């Protein structure tokens, strides 16, 4: 893989950029370069003192997966109590985008991993909502951690699973198709150009190994758990893949296993749409997904909460308020879980939430 330039804004395409309108393009994906000052995390409700501020993301990353966390509280939060059916509580985690240390801090603070970074939540259930790589300092480190926690959780009788986000498709597509032109209704592009424009990190691509590719390729795009429909993106475009959870997951896997670059691009384009549950038509759209796939609430990542709230875009581009937790909206039918960890220093944070909310 040829090393790529440093950051480029999606609305300032370089020569390799797709010649399409930003709003129609997968390049329309919010982007904040890493490297901003990292504020102390501000956990909402927990007896555990906030962890010491993590060091600013470095490039290349140097943090160890198993390094002890700074939090002095032994064991982190109290161990989750098992549910009546034997399963432990259900957690969801929003977009990580390579922010490994922030993920370790958040998991430890939630009582899911111990001070050495190992699963300590027994039969708890964890779903990551996708988008592990790009933008942040250690995307492959994040994937390695999630893969290891999946094994450790299974050995404890719980589980740690993950959905496929659009950045997984982007990374896999860039790895597989590179500069090969893809043809979409919006113009010509390539996965490599789109990946670069959306925060693709050369050090992640260099460390992407076959076992990562195999694991990422098998991730489901949606799941229903405890009455929650879990998806990465806030869009009804999933309906274009099928009308059941299995049909959607099978259709996307079929594309990843046998599709050509154009078919991959079409899947990527659908899974990159956003804001489907916002505004007046939002509740109806959420209801349509729930009636089709099951569940009583859609839980998604992908669109950072400050953007969903319309709080970004002022003169300094900063959100008006820091993200404190998940956002319930669309007549309580949708939960946004992307706290905007890439906007650290600007009020964003990585969100871990135990479901149900309220
Ligand atoms: Mn996304």
Which pLDDT tens digit goes with each residue over 239-294?
Answer: 999 999 999 999 999 999 999 999 999 999 999 999 999 999 999 999 999 999 99
Separation of CA 302 and ligand 1 centre (Å): 4
Separation of CA 86 and ligand 1 centre (Å): 33
Q: How many domains is the chain partitioned into structurally?
A: 1
Tokens 């479901």 belong to which residue? 355
38 pLDDT higher than 50: no
What single-letter DSSP state applies at residue 130? S
Q: How confident is the model at residue 187 (pLDDT cuts 50, 70, 90)?
A: confident
Indicate whether 18 belongs to any domain.
no
Q: How confident is the model at residue 80 (pLDDT cuts 50, 70, 90)?
A: low
Tell me the CA distances in angstroms from 214 to 2, 9, 133, 172, one per residue in order: 22, 30, 16, 10
- pLDDT at residue number 311: 76
Separation of CA 165 and ligand 1 centre (Å): 5
- pLDDT at residue number 321: 81
Separation of CA 272 and ligand 1 centre (Å): 6
Tell me the C-alpha distance between 284 and 277, whole Å.
Answer: 8
| Sheet strands (E) in 201-282 | 222-225, 228-231
353 pLDDT higher than 80: yes
Indicate whether 4 belongs to any domain.
no
Tell me the C-alpha distance between 307 and 36, whole Å.
Answer: 18
Return the higher-pLDDT residue of 111 and 32. Answer: 111
Tell me the CA distances in angstroms from 101 to 57, 70, 250, 291, one per residue in order: 8, 11, 33, 38
- pLDDT at residue number 318: 62
Separation of CA 346 and ligand 1 centre (Å): 19
Separation of CA 344 and ligand 1 centre (Å): 17
Separation of CA 131 and ligand 1 centre (Å): 6
- pLDDT at residue number 310: 86
pLDDT in tens, 117-149: 999 999 999 999 999 999 999 999 999 999 999
Separation of CA 16 and ligand 1 centre (Å): 21
Tell me the C-alpha distance between 115 and 105, whole Å.
Answer: 9
Separation of CA 72 and ligand 1 centre (Å): 33
Q: How confident is the model at residue 72 (pLDDT cuts 50, 70, 90)?
A: very low
What pTM, to 2 d.p., does this model score?
A: 0.79
Q: How confident is the model at residue 345 (pLDDT cuts 50, 70, 90)?
A: confident
Indicate whether 6 belongs to any domain.
no
Q: How confident is the model at residue 320 (pLDDT cuts 50, 70, 90)?
A: low
Average pLDDT, the chain: 82
Separation of CA 283 and ligand 1 centre (Å): 21
Calculate mean pLDDT across residues 335-351: 91
Q: Is the backbone peptide bond immediately before 334 cis, with ω within 30 degrees of 0?
A: no
Separation of CA 198 and ligand 1 centre (Å): 10
Identify the CATH number of the domain in which residue 188 sits: 3.60.21.10
Tokens 């440093």 belong to which residue? 6
Q: Which domain covers residue 125, as residue numbers?
A: 90-355
Indicate whether 37 belongs to any domain.
no
Dihedral over alpha carbons 229, 336, 199, 52 (to 10 degrees): -120
Pick from 299, 315, 314, 312: nearest CA to 343 = 312
Separation of CA 266 and ligand 1 centre (Å): 15
Return the higher-pLDDT residue of 346 and 57. Answer: 346
DSSP string, 53-93: PPPPP-SS----TTPPPS--STTSSPPPPPPTTS---EEEE
Which residues have a Cβ under 8 Å from the Cβ of 62 and sit 6 or more positions away?
none
Q: Are 309 and 327 in contact (CB under 8 A)?
A: yes
Separation of CA 233 and ligand 1 centre (Å): 6
Indicate whether 99 belongs to any domain.
yes
Indicate whether 215 belongs to any domain.
yes
Phi, psi of 65 (to 5 degrees): -60, -45
Return the higher-pLDDT residue of 205 and 42. Answer: 205
Q: Is 111 left (phi over 0), alpha (psi -120 to 50) or beta?
A: left
Tell me the C-alpha distance between 214 and 104, whole Å.
Answer: 24
Calculate mean pLDDT across residues 297-302: 98
Pick from 355, 82, 80: nearest CA to 227 = 355
Tell me the CA distances in angstroms from 289 to 112, 242, 286, 332, one per residue in order: 30, 11, 5, 14
3-state secondary structure of 37: coil
∠ CA 332-338-343, nearest 5°, is 135
Tell me the C-alpha distance between 239 and 292, whole Å.
Answer: 8
- pLDDT at residue number 188: 79
Tell me the C-alpha distance between 337 and 347, whole Å.
Answer: 14
3-state secondary structure of 188: strand
Paired sense of beta strands 327-329 and 334-336, if any: antiparallel
Q: How confident is the model at residue 32 (pLDDT cuts 50, 70, 90)?
A: very low
Separation of CA 95 and ligand 1 centre (Å): 7
Separation of CA 164 and ligand 1 centre (Å): 9
Chain centroid, CA 166 distance in Å: 9
- pLDDT at residue number 352: 98
Separation of CA 291 and ligand 1 centre (Å): 23
- pLDDT at residue number 197: 93
Return the higher-pLDDT residue of 9 and 102. Answer: 102
Indicate whether 46 belongs to any domain.
no
- pLDDT at residue number 28: 41
Considering the chain, what percentage of its residues have pLDDT values greater than 70?
74
Separation of CA 267 and ligand 1 centre (Å): 13
Indicate whether 340 belongs to any domain.
yes
């Amino acid at each position: 893989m040829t090393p790529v330039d440093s950051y480029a804004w999606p609305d300032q395409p370089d020569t390799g950029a797709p010649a399409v309108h930003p709003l129609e393009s997968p390049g329309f994906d919010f982007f904040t370069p890493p490297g901003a000052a990292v504020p102390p995390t501000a956990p909402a409700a927990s007896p555990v003192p906030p962890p010491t501020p993590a060091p600013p993301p470095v490039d290349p990353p140097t943090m160890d997966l198993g390094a002890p966390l700074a939090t002095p509280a032994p064991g982190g939060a109290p161990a989750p109590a098992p549910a009546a059916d034997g399963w432990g509580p259900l957690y969801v985690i929003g977009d990580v985008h390579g922010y490994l240390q922030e993920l370790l801090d958040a998991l430890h603070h939630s009582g899911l991993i111990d001070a050495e970074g190992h699963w300590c939540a027994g039969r708890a259930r964890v779903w990551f909502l996708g988008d592990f790589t790009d933008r942040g300092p250690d995307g492959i480190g994040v994937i390695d951690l999630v893969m290891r926690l999946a094994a450790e959780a299974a050995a404890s009788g719980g589980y740690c699973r993950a959905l496929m986000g659009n950045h997984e498709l982007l990374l896999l597509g860039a790895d597989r198709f590179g500069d090969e032109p893809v043809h979409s209704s919006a113009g010509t592009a390539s996965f490599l150009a789109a990946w670069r424009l959306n925060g693709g990190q050369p050090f992640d691509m260099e460390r992407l190994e076959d076992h990562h590719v195999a694991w990422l390729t098998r991730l489901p795009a949606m799941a229903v758990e405890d009455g929650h429909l879990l998806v990465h993106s806030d869009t009804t475009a999933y309906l274009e893949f099928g009308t059941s959870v299995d049909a959607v997951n099978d259709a996307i896997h079929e594309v990843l296993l046998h599709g050509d670059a154009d078919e991959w691009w079409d899947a990527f384009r659908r899974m990159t749409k956003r804001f489907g549950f916002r505004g007046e038509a939002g509740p109806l759209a959420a209801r349509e997904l729930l009636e089709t796939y099951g569940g009583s609430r859609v839980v998604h990542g992908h669109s950072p909460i400050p953007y969903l709230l319309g709080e970004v875009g002022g003169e300094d581009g900063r959100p008006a308020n820091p993200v404190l937790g998940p956002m319930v909206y669309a007549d309580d039918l949708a939960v946004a879980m992307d706290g905007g960890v890439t906007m650290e220093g600007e009020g964003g944070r990585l969100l871990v939430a135990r479901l149900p909310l309220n």
